[in-house]
Structure 1
């Protein structure tokens, strides 16, 4: 993948050269042309340089969605530094861990999080300066306005890490995935091809920018020269209003947000002009899939991606969603993008398994991260001879479609048989008495482990363990079925919404 000396900033330079007065970015009632955006980024880079930020340094960012986050990503690239975006949903102790792990010496912090950071300052020894964004005294705008635009730009190398996004941390502390000029350029190329992004695209960025579903989606649309609309947070009625009034053509959501949108009045009319709805981040339950396809006509694209791959690397396109003779594909993660190779490997032996057999997905692509920041052991574990181990268990069919089964670490081994909890969860979630479910393995004297379901009932009176076990036995092999059910009010989740199965195992085991 060719990377120019401007790296990711070439996106902005190209927009400025071709159409300087065209609106590039919108946020609320504010908009910036390519010319204005370029000037702001160069000034921000100049201000950061004046603060001593240079190659391989980290700049921290903590706020809900805001254009300043994208501006900082571009500015970091111009300095040879990396932008470490922090998940604003983290608890204070978790925030301190991520900020300290990144080594950021300067933080750009939304006014709503300023008090939290001030209370943590004694625990952030590396942080020299905090720039408050928004609020009554908007230091960020003054930071830009008073700066001299950067003239001496860093010459970008393909291996430069310019963006550091943190993994969800479902099995431990989050790790900083180092995304490079090469990896993001490769991702943008795949995204433009898969979704038909072009200069006429109006791209809605509603997912958090600390996630690839936010930042990578935004960069892909900008790379095409399109108009990017950033919304601060998910308010379903406001999102539909924005889609309708701003003529949005492309949007990406997690399935939970799609469900919220479907619950709004006027969803059909508001989405009539959409050309693409991408969704991912978690599997879409079959009932929601059926409701979505029956309600809206927008072409649907299911994606399989991960932070370590700079975003999406598999796509299930709209034709596969709406083919009545191939509804089994609704459970598929799609097929790899053209420059990505996926193997299905026995995680214990490293040997490829036969078609249709479950193993671990190993991926080779220029989209792959450089590694985990300051974690050489974790990086060495993640890569095998240039192949990235996804940690995801699944299978591939004879047409090349991937099917995710579960996380390798969540696999239950009962009586020598491998059980992937996601398969059991897919059955249970279709029972009308089940609102949410997580399946785990619990220790068992005879079988080693036994399958156990943790269920949030759809109604407090609908908590019948025997009925649910019987339901699974009618649909699954006996050894895959739960031998016990625990009912809870809510499942424990991390700040990105993923279920923390380690907490369930710890509590129930």
Structure 2
């Protein structure tokens, strides 16, 4: 599906005109049609304008998933403002940082976060008003109801930012990626082709809206004129129940959630026959988890690789590559570039291309790219080259068939005695051991080699980890210089909500007082 529309306000108006009485979004026990959604968005636009917001201003949302966040994003698209969606998993000082970084003038909070915001209210100098969304003390509905729908549309440029999502911040304070009409529309149209999302689709939005797996996935659905079924939180049992009860055709999930879903009692008893695509990404999926999910969702699994800075997905591995034993090695790949996306592997030091099959930095060029990082021109210039390539910061290679393999973050690469070691390669080996449920490999200081690999493992249920046996297991399967030199056992690994291991947290105790060499 290719659209000539250049902004999301026109997209919403299209479906309001073509499908006014069709359901656009379901949430809890509420269903709203396209005409109802469009009316609420115009009321939201009117309320923002009445509050004195002008093009370029920011609002912010701190909440679990709620349709109000999506209404705000679409209203921002209409009047030229931008919605900065805050990661609700952040600590209070980090929340203060994000809200202040965005210079948000209105902060919308869910009832679960109202008390926390009240405690830091005096640290938010740009916030003129806090509005609670939902719960017994809801203020949002009255804020909307006080205004008639505003039909005026700001003449948006395709490169105007209307939603600002913050990078996960695994290595420091997050940066606000300015996502634009051009980028989000390109992403929506490219994904609709690859994942066959059309107006008849019923799309489950289970992942948080502060992440591209939430907001971008919702905007793909809006662009396609399909129906959104939004969950407030991605509870594993609820996700499974809704897949069946709502006859969901498409969903996006993260591997950490899917691992728990596969263990829910009776998971396989659900009827998932309506599913056309179960898309997963944001972190690697251990092969044992993948095998369990392939049994649960046969013929519909799509692995995706992407990043906030590119509005979401840039490559995908389809069901045929998941199911064909002749190409089982591709299960650890990120597939091939989706429509209208270029991927090249470059030398991270020189920026020059590297030969096919050799590891370098993954570079991406596409209309999907962000405009830049909000208020950080130097970081933007470091991330996006003058000729439009995004330096992903991920290490990887492309094989002879054009499949992309992500090895690790460039900064997580371990340099031991001059050899480059990518932790993901070691992690894939250890994940196959029957006593290991979860694993992360980090570089730790070594007086002789500079740094060496260390594995941190979580035991499988009912198992004890024999660290010496694990080291011997690695020596049988990996080159000597790649083998971990030690193994620690932990109850769990620190992860953010999307499943990314916070390796910075694991490394800190070992590198305290030392200067770590990073690429």
Fold conserved between structures, TM > 0.5: yes
Paired residue for 2:338?
A: 337
Paired residue for 1:280?
A: 281
Ranges in structure 1 where 5+ consecutive residues have no aligned partner: none
Q: How far apart, CA to CA, are the structure 1 residues paired with 2:490 and 2:239? A: 32
Q: How far apart, CA to CA, are the structure 2 residues paired with 1:456 and 1:312? A: 30
Tell me the TM-score normalized by structure 1: 0.97
Q: Does 1:174 align with 2:174?
A: yes
Paired residue for 1:63?
A: 63
Paired residue for 1:323?
A: 324
Contact map agreement 2:161 2:178 (CA 8 A) in 1: yes
Q: How far apart, CA to CA, are the structure 2 residues paired with 1:449 and 1:238? A: 44
Q: Any idea what SS the aligned residue of 1:426 has? A: helix
Q: How far apart, CA to CA, are the structure 1 residues paired with 2:230 and 2:140? A: 18
Ranges in structure 2 where 5+ consecutive residues have no aligned partner: 512-519
> 73-82 vs 228-237, which deviates more?
228-237
Q: Any idea what SS the aligned residue of 1:212 has? A: coil
Contact map agreement 2:59 2:104 (CA 8 A) in 1: yes
Q: How far apart, CA to CA, are the structure 2 residues paired with 1:426 and 1:411? A: 15
Q: How far apart, CA to CA, are the structure 1 residues paired with 2:299 and 2:202? A: 15
Contact map agreement 1:412 1:420 (CA 8 A) in 2: yes
Q: CA deviation at 1:238?
A: 2.0
Paired residue for 1:304?
A: 305
Q: CA deviation at 1:271?
A: 1.5
Contact map agreement 1:221 1:227 (CA 8 A) in 2: yes
CA distance 1:266–1:34, change in 2 (3 Å): same
Q: How far apart, CA to CA, are the structure 2 residues paired with 1:72 and 1:240? A: 28
Paired residue for 1:216?
A: 216
Q: How far apart, CA to CA, are the structure 2 residues paired with 1:185 and 1:277? A: 22
> 103-112 vs 441-450, which deviates more?
441-450
Q: How far apart, CA to CA, are the structure 1 residues paired with 2:463 and 2:40? A: 57
Contact map agreement 1:90 1:495 (CA 8 A) in 2: no
CA distance 1:295–1:239, change in 2 (3 Å): closer
Q: Any idea what SS the aligned residue of 1:213 has? A: coil
> 108-117 vs 295-304, which deviates more?
295-304
| 1:344-423 equivalent positions in 2, closer than 5 A | 344-385=345-386, 386-423=388-425
Paired residue for 1:485?
A: 487
> 440-449 vs 470-479, which deviates more?
440-449
Q: How far apart, CA to CA, are the structure 2 residues paired with 1:351 and 1:275? A: 40
Contact map agreement 1:4 1:156 (CA 8 A) in 2: no
Q: Does 1:102 align with 2:102?
A: yes
Q: CA deviation at 1:416?
A: 1.0
Q: Does 1:14 align with 2:14?
A: yes
Q: Any idea what SS the aligned residue of 1:252 has? A: strand
Paired residue for 2:514?
A: none
Paired residue for 2:47?
A: 47
Contact map agreement 1:309 1:367 (CA 8 A) in 2: yes
CA distance 1:455–1:237, change in 2 (3 Å): closer
Contact map agreement 2:85 2:210 (CA 8 A) in 1: yes
CA distance 1:497–1:316, change in 2 (3 Å): closer
Q: How far apart, CA to CA, are the structure 2 residues paired with 1:9 and 1:184? A: 12
Q: How far apart, CA to CA, are the structure 1 residues paired with 2:296 and 2:159? A: 44
Contact map agreement 2:204 2:251 (CA 8 A) in 1: yes
CA distance 1:102–1:282, change in 2 (3 Å): same
Contact map agreement 2:5 2:11 (CA 8 A) in 1: no
CA deviation string 1:239-288 (max 9, x = no partner): 22222121111111111222222223143533222111111111111111
Q: How far apart, CA to CA, are the structure 1 residues paired with 2:215 and 2:151? A: 26
> 102-111 vs 460-469, which deviates more?
460-469
Q: How far apart, CA to CA, are the structure 2 residues paired with 1:287 and 1:136? A: 44
Q: Any idea what SS the aligned residue of 1:137 has? A: coil
| 1:231-250 equivalent positions in 2, closer than 5 A | 231-250=231-250
Q: Any idea what SS the aligned residue of 1:177 has? A: strand
Contact map agreement 2:435 2:463 (CA 8 A) in 1: no
CA deviation string 1:468-499 (max 9, x = no partner): 11110000000000111122222223454422
Contact map agreement 1:84 1:163 (CA 8 A) in 2: yes
Paired residue for 1:72?
A: 72
> 80-89 vs 288-297, which deviates more?
288-297
- Aligned partner (choices 429, 432, 436) of residue 430 of structure 1: 432
> 218-227 vs 469-478, which deviates more?
218-227
Q: CA deviation at 1:3?
A: 6.9
Contact map agreement 1:160 1:180 (CA 8 A) in 2: yes
Q: How far apart, CA to CA, are the structure 1 residues paired with 2:284 and 2:258? A: 12
Paired residue for 1:157?
A: 157
Tell me the TM-score normalized by structure 2: 0.95
Q: How far apart, CA to CA, are the structure 2 residues paired with 1:260 and 1:9? A: 38
Q: CA deviation at 1:438?
A: 1.2
Contact map agreement 1:272 1:298 (CA 8 A) in 2: no
Contact map agreement 2:241 2:270 (CA 8 A) in 1: no
Contact map agreement 1:274 1:298 (CA 8 A) in 2: no
